[in-house]
Amino acid sequence: MTATPPANALLPEPPDLSTPASRLTHLLNRLQPSPEAIALILAVLIGSITGIGVVIFHYLIELVHNLLLEDVMGVLYKWGPWTLACVPTIGGAIVGLMRWRWPDFGPSMSSLIAASQGTKKPLALRPAIKMVAAAVSLGSGASLGPEGPSVEIGANFGSLLSQALQVSKERRQLLLGAGAAAGLAAGFNAPIAGVFLALELVLGTTFATSAVSVVLLAAVVASLIAQIGLGAQPAFTLPAYEVRSPLEFPLYMGLGVLASLVSVVYIQSIQVARRCFRGQVQPFSWMAGWPRSLTPAIGGLLVGLTALVWPQIMGIGYETIEAMLQDVKFSLPLLLGLLAVKLIATAISLGSGFVGGIFAPAMFLGASLGAAYGKILAALLPASMVSIAAPPAYAMVGMAAVLAGSARAPLTSILLLFELTRDYRIVLPLMAAVGLSIWLVELLQPTPDRGQNLQQLGLNFEKGQNLEILQSLSVAEAMQETGAMFLDSTSVIEAASALTNDRGRSALVVNDSGHLVGIVTLQDLKRAIAQLDSSTDDDSGIPPTVGSVCTTDLLYAYPDELVAEALDRMAARGLHQLPVVERDNIHRVLGVLERDGIDLACSVAATRQVLHQHLSQTGMRSPISLPVFKQSV
């Protein structure tokens, strides 16, 4: 006789609702909104949390600043002005203790981008610890800025949210970019610049309309919350700007040249300082055995001693920047001295282990350079020869030019200063100086984008020859015939069975007319099947179709473009393949460009070059056709 199972054994297993992320996932599954609606909901959530986080971060900086520079200094100052050096030393000691307790207490933007591509998992607690460390660093006087931690607050939350919801790789990178945009928008009250920061540095040069909408919404929400918590005023109060003569534009070009040199020295000095504190530079090799937790206190002591002579270099430096922009009478030696000393103090702060951003120091350097440049021009060029603007105008342009050169973000720099000035007349000289600055920086220190793209996609080509091949190889030569392809009405069960049997990574999705509508990956199918198993709805036994789970926001390659251009788009989202379509009809698929195909095409092209050189040197003729024999097994 067969035992009858208990009634509760026939009931579906209840969903896991133990964590906020699982409850949010369950709610989204129950409501079943469209992918676009989910993205906008997540954008609002990221913008709200980031705005609140940036407000808390700024209040923490103010709290630490008041505690150390008012309460502690109120006790120590009776022993003499030299005790000012104790404040950054105390801050460095606290940061050092935090580094001893948490050796790696927070991911940088590079590791966050790696997490968005699935190579690392972010940790929930360490971003908060890093925010506290940054508040201690900036509040105690480290020569750094708040915008880097502000950007990382948003990027960390976007990355953690994407990890908790187990979204696709493209969605992870999009949420990371939305968080970064929200962080900069809240930190500077500059949402437009925040959007372009995400699109320029995080998402890459190629992005879709849906990505822009998500990033825009996150930046706007974060900026609104920051305005409620911190006030609606911009970071700086800038003077009225006016172009007095068209002959000034060559002068702004000269400022762009100087800004590029300052940018290169700035970035190089930070790298040298890091190597010095790690004992990798010969005069400082004795520091190689020192614990990493002690170096922030040493850096704080050096910054504090420097501040005894140059107090303006302590802390974020917004007050000094605004004084330069308001044409407070700084002497030329003072401006040049602040330029050099601030650069060294920032390198020491970052190299020793303090936590902060490089945007604010870059703007300090640019303002000092521009103000000094304006004073030199006023002394060299008499008013009767050419009418030039006052030094604050050059200080404003210098800020953007140095920021663009050091951060490699020209559009972000232009729009950031444009948002701060809200004056269209500054755009032309701004674009001229920033454009020349970033061009010269790339000329002096080229960014190895192509090599990074190859490494990111797993294409381990040799440098030199193969990179040159990529610049001349067309997509038509490297693409392959279309692989797996599903109708949008195919069930995810059938698609998963077919892909796993063929050991495929992804497949194209077409409609009944054969028009391309999307691409589906193994991860998409696995996620859909897992949601099907955990669903408690009445129709949970009906599997969804491939068309409902595939990615419809596609990037394409065209047969007549270079492989190098398509490779940039692949690397921007960490993709393994791109559909090759006609330029006039993106729904007609001609083939697929895969990383294995790129590798093979480059190897064939390289072998063809070597063969051609050999035949040319020996005077042999190229064989017209030779059979390829295969041994029977």
Tell the residue number behind the tokens 């996932």, with chain if given. 25
Burial class of residue 110 in the structure, from the number of CB atoms within 10 Å of its CB (0-12 exposed, 13-18 middle, 19+ buried): exposed
**Separation of alpha carbons 218 and 58, rounded Å:** 19
Whether the full predicted model's pTM is greater than 0.85, yes or no, is no
Q: Report the pLDDT value the prediction gives residue 558, as an integer from 0 to 100.
A: 83
* Overall residue count recorded for the chain in this entry: 633
List, for residues 21-55, the tens digit of each pLDDT value.
Answer: 566 565 555 555 556 667 777 888 888 888 888 88
List, for residues 143-157, the tens digit of each pLDDT value.
Answer: 888 877 888 888 888
Kindly list the strands in the beta sheet with 506-510, ordered across the sheet, starting from the edge strand earlier in the chain: 485-487, 506-510, 516-521
Q: Report the pLDDT value the prediction gives residue 507, as an integer from 0 to 100.
A: 82
Which stretch of 109-123, 191-205, 437-451, 483-497 has the lowest confidence by average pLDDT?
109-123
Domains present along the chain, CATH in parentheses: 32-230 (1.10.3080.10), 246-447 (1.10.3080.10), 465-617 (3.10.580.10)
Q: Report the pLDDT value the prediction gives residue 632, as an integer from 0 to 100.
A: 38
What is the gyration radius of the CA atoms in the chain, in angstroms? 29
Q: Report the pLDDT value the prediction gives residue 257, as an integer from 0 to 100.
A: 92
Please check the confidence at residue 108 and state whether its pLDDT lies above 60.
no
List, for residues 252-294, the tens digit of each pLDDT value.
Answer: 889 999 999 999 999 889 888 888 888 777 787 777 777 778 8
Residues 6+ positions from 572 with CB-CB distance below 8 Å: 203, 204, 205, 206, 207, 555
Mean pLDDT, range 68-77, rounded to an integer: 79
Kindly provide the b/e burial profile for residues 405-420, where b requires at least 16 CB atoms within 10 angstroms of the residue's own CB: bbbbbbbbbbbbbbbb
pLDDT band at 630 (very low <50, low <70, confident <90, very high): very low
Please check the confidence at residue 339 and state whether its pLDDT lies above 90.
yes
**What percent of the chain has pLDDT above 70?**
72
Q: Report the pLDDT value the prediction gives residue 240, as an integer from 0 to 100.
A: 65
Q: Report the pLDDT value the prediction gives residue 122, as an integer from 0 to 100.
A: 46
CB 15 within 8 A of CB 536: yes
Q: Report the pLDDT value the prediction gives residue 518, as an integer from 0 to 100.
A: 82
Tell the residue number behind the tokens 């007050």, with chain if given. 319
**Separation of alpha carbons 283 and 596, rounded Å:** 47
Q: Report the pLDDT value the prediction gives residue 343, as an integer from 0 to 100.
A: 93
Q: Report the pLDDT value the prediction gives residue 629, as an integer from 0 to 100.
A: 41
Please check the confidence at residue 457 and state whether its pLDDT lies above 70.
no
CB 428 within 8 A of CB 289: no
List, for residues 305-320, the tens digit of each pLDDT value.
Answer: 998 888 888 888 888 8
Mean of per-residue pLDDT scores for the chain: 75
pLDDT band at 422 (very low <50, low <70, confident <90, very high): low
Residues 6+ positions from 372 with CB-CB distance below 8 Å: 332, 335, 336, 339, 391
Please check the confidence at residue 527 and state whether its pLDDT lies above 70.
yes
CA torsion sign, 233 to 234 to 237 to 239?
negative
Strand 516-521 and strand 589-594: the pairing is unpaired
Q: Report the pLDDT value the prediction gives residue 401, as an integer from 0 to 100.
A: 92
CA 194 to chain centre: 11
Which stretch of 361-365, 376-380, 599-603 has the lowest confidence by average pLDDT?
599-603
**What percent of the chain has pLDDT above 90?**
8
List, for residues 484-519, the tens digit of each pLDDT value.
Answer: 788 888 888 888 888 888 777 778 888 887 788 888
Q: Report the pLDDT value the prediction gives residue 265, as an integer from 0 to 100.
A: 92
**Separation of alpha carbons 429 and 435, rounded Å:** 10
Q: Report the pLDDT value the prediction gives residue 26, as an integer from 0 to 100.
A: 58
Q: Report the pLDDT value the prediction gives residue 117, as an integer from 0 to 100.
A: 47
Highest mean pLDDT among 253-257, 419-423, 449-453, 486-490: 253-257
Highest mean pLDDT among 55-59, 200-204, 429-433, 586-590: 55-59
Which stretch of 36-50, 58-72, 133-147, 392-406 has the lowest confidence by average pLDDT?
36-50
Q: Report the pLDDT value the prediction gives residue 98, as an integer from 0 to 100.
A: 85
Q: Report the pLDDT value the prediction gives residue 628, as an integer from 0 to 100.
A: 43
Q: Report the pLDDT value the prediction gives residue 511, as an integer from 0 to 100.
A: 83
Please give the residue that has the higher pLDDT: either 331 or 608.
Answer: 331
